[in-house]
């Protein structure tokens, strides 16, 4: 989650096209859901959500640096 959050913080949301903004919002939701899953003690689900958030965030960073 830390890597996903760090990557999301590097992105200028205003410069993203609409499709990428939807991916950004989805990644943010995955992070929030992962935090909720951790609080509930569901570590497997939290890991899955965190991995999805990380993957989306890293794709967005790569796309923005092109």
**C-alpha span between 41 and 26 (Å, rounded):** 22
- Domain range summary for the chain, segments of one domain joined by +: 2-8+17-64
Q: Give the DSSP letter string of 7-54.
A: HHHHS-GGGS-HHHHHHHHHHHHHHHHHHHHHHTT-HHHHHHHHHHHH
Tens digits of per-residue pLDDT, 28-41? 999 999 999 999 99
Percent over 90 (pLDDT), the chain: 89
Q: Which of 11, 30, 10 is nearest to 20 (CA)?
A: 11
What sign does the CA torsion over 24, 11, 50, 54 have? Answer: positive
This prediction's pTM? 0.91
């Amino acid at each position: 989650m830390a890597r996903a959050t760090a990557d999301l913080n590097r992105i200028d949301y205003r410069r993203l096209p609409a499709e990428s903004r939807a991916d950004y919002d989805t990644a943010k939701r995955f992070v929030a859901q992962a935090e909720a899953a951790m609080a509930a003690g569901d570590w497997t689900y939290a890991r899955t959500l965190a991995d999805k958030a990380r993957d989306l965030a890293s794709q967005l960073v790569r796309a923005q640096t092109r």
